[in-house]
Amino acid sequence: MALSSEGRVGSKGELFPPKQIRERAGLTPSKKILFRIEEHKLIVELIRSLEELMDETPNVEISMTEFKADRRELSKKAES
């Protein structure tokens, strides 16, 4: 579900999103974020830590045998 709300820009260019936006995005003090522009829109993304990523359930499961076979195939392609 999309959430919109007005914020403001401070006198030194600081961005001040409203509390509900910060909470919904998981933005807490000292978190790193990525800014980018897409089609004249400012996109702000949370940069998750390695620990946070490791705690997630993987989207794809692959066996070690499949992994090794894929690596061999990629190595062959890289040598060509």
Query: Can you give the residue ranges of every domain in the chain?
Result: 1-56
**pLDDT tens per residue, range 15-73:** 999 999 999 998 999 999 999 999 999 999 999 889 888 898 888 888 899 999 999 99
Which pLDDT score is estimated for 79?
85
CA–CA separation, 56 vs 4, rounded Å? 27
Judge if pTM exceeds 0.85. no
Which pLDDT score is estimated for 61?
86
The DSSP letter of residue 58 is: P
pLDDT for 2 beyond 90: no
* The domain made up of 1-56 is a member of CATH 2.10.260: yes
What is the DSSP code string of 2-62?
------EE-TTS-EE--HHHHHHHT--TT-EEEEEEETTEEEEEEE--HHHHHHSPPS---
More confident residue, 20 or 1: 20
